Amino acid sequence: MTGRWASALRPYFERAPLAALFLGISSGFAFAMIGATLTTRLAQHGISKGAVTAFALTFLAYNLKFLWAPLVDHVRLPLLGRFGQRRSWLWFSGALVMAAVALLGAADPRESLMLVAAAAIAVGFAGATFDIIIDAYRIELLEPRQLGAGSGMSQYGWRIGAAAAGGLALVLAARFGWAFAYAACAAFALPAMLVGVFAGEPARHQAPARPRGVGEAFAAYFSPLLEFLGRQGALVVLLFVLVHKIGDTLANLTLRLLFQDLGFSNDEVAFYDVGIGFAALLAGILAGGVLYARLGMKRSVLASLVLMAGSNLGFAVLAAAGHTNAGMAAAIGFENFASGIGGVTVVAYLSALCNLRFTATQYALLSALASIAGRFLTGTTAGGLIEAMGYVNFYLLTTLAALPGVALYWYMMRAGLADVPAGAAGTPPTAA
C-alpha cells in the first residue's frame, strides 16, 4: 500500500510538474494585482465604491483571451522567435506584464483615475496573454501521465503567487508607497520566464503551418476551432465543458451573501472561509493528483464532478441550520476540498483535449467556456432567485444544476466520447 501511494506522489517531484509550480506562481500574481490589491489601493485613496467596483471590468480580458490566442500559436516574434515559439512568447508576454504592473503602480488615482483604469486594462490584457502562453507551455512540457500532478502543481503555484504578491504589495505599500510595491511585485513574472530559460522549448510542441497571405491567415485563425469540431462527439464535449461548472459557480459566487445574512462576523469569515477553506483546497489539490494517478483520467473526473455537485448540499444544510461555526467549517471545508480535486482532474482533462498544434488557442477557448455560463447566470439571476426562494432552496437548485454535467460526462464515458482522440495532448507518443 505504501509503495502505491509513493508511486502516486512521485510525479509531484519530477522536473516538469515542478516547472508547472513556478509557471502557476507567475500566472496568479497578475490576477492579484488588479483584484484585491487594486481594490484596497483605490479604497485607501478614497475612490467611490461605484468607481472601485467598475474596475471589475478589467477581468474581461481573461474571459476573452481566446480571441487573440491564435496569435500565440501562429505568429513568430522577431528576434526572440529564434529561441522557439513558446519560449519567445513566454518572455515577451512576461516582460509586458512587468511593464504594465509597474505602470499601474506609477499611476496615481488621485491625479488621474482614467490613467489608472488604462493601466489596469493593460495589466489585464498582458496578464491574460501571459496566461495563454503559460497554459500552452505547461501542457506541452508535461507528459500525458504527468497531467494530473502538473495541473495540481499549477493550482498550488497560482494560489501561492496570488497570495504572496497580494500580501507583499500591502506590506511594501505601507512602508515605501504603492509605486514601489507594484514595481517590486512585477518580479513575480520571473519564475515563469526562468522556466523558459532552464526547461527549454517544450519537446511536445508541434508548430502549425505558417500562414502565407491574408487567406491563409484567416483560415489559420479558425483552424483550432475547426479541428476540434471535426472530432467525433465534439459538440457533446463542448456542451459538457459549458455546463459542468454552472452549479458550482452559482453557489460559490453567492457564498459571501449567505455568510452576511447568517450574521457571521468578518473574523469568522476570515478564519473559516479564507483560513480553513484555503487549507482544505490545498489538501484537495494533493488528493486530486493522487486520484488522477490511481483511478485514471476518466474515473477521477467523474468522481470530482460528483463531489463538487454534492458540496452544494452542505450550504443548503448551513442555510437551514443558521449561524453555526461547526456547520460553516464543514460546508466550507468540504466545498474547497472537492474544488481542489476538481481543479486538478478537470483541468487535466481540458489540457488533454488540446491538439498539440493549437494548444494555446484550444485551451484558452475551453477554459473560457468552462466559466462563462456560470458567471453569466450568477450575474443575471442569482440574486433574484435567492430573494424568491430563499437560500436553502437556492443551494438545492445549484445542486440540481450540477447534475446535467455529471450525467453528460457519464454518458460520454459510456459512449467512448470521454477518451482523448489520438494526436491530442493527453495521448502518449507511443499510442499516436
Instruction: Give the DSSP letter string of 347-416.
Output: HHHHHHTSBTTSHHHHHHHHHHHHHHHHHHHIIIIIHHHHHHHHHHHHHHHHHHHHHHHHHHHHHHHHHT
Q: What are 357's three cell numbers? A: 498544434
Per-residue pLDDT at 307 exceeds 60:
yes
User: d(Cα 212, Cα 214) in Å, to the nearest integer?
Assistant: 7
**pLDDT value at position 232?**
84
Taking residues 25-47, report their average pLDDT. 81
Residue predicted with more confidence, 60 or 74: 74
Under 8 Å CB-to-CB from 246, ≥6 apart: which residues? 373, 374, 377, 401, 402, 404, 405
- Per-residue pLDDT of 100-158, as tens digits, reads 999 999 988 888 888 888 999 999 999 999 999 999 999 999 998 888 889 989 988 99
User: d(Cα 376, Cα 266) in Å, to the nearest integer?
Assistant: 28
Per-residue pLDDT at 32 exceeds 90:
no
Per-residue pLDDT at 316 exceeds 80:
yes
Per-residue pLDDT at 95 exceeds 80:
yes
CA-CA-CA-CA dihedral for 378, 381, 387, 389, to nearest 10: -100
Under 8 Å CB-to-CB from 369, ≥6 apart: which residues? 238, 241, 242
User: d(Cα 299, Cα 127) in Å, to the nearest integer?
Assistant: 33
Identify the burial level of 187 via C-beta atoms within 10 angstroms of its C-beta, where 0-12 means exposed, 13-18 middle and 19 or more buried.
middle
Neighbours of 411 (CB within 10 A): 13
Under 8 Å CB-to-CB from 256, ≥6 apart: which residues? 269, 273
Q: What are 177's three cell numbers? A: 508607497
**pLDDT value at position 431?**
43
Residue predicted with more confidence, 424 or 131: 131
Neighbours of 6 (CB within 10 A): 9
User: d(Cα 65, Cα 60) in Å, to the nearest integer?
Assistant: 8
Q: What are 332's three cell numbers? A: 466550507
- Closest by CA to 170, choosing from 184, 156, 160, is 184
Per-residue pLDDT at 375 exceeds 70:
no
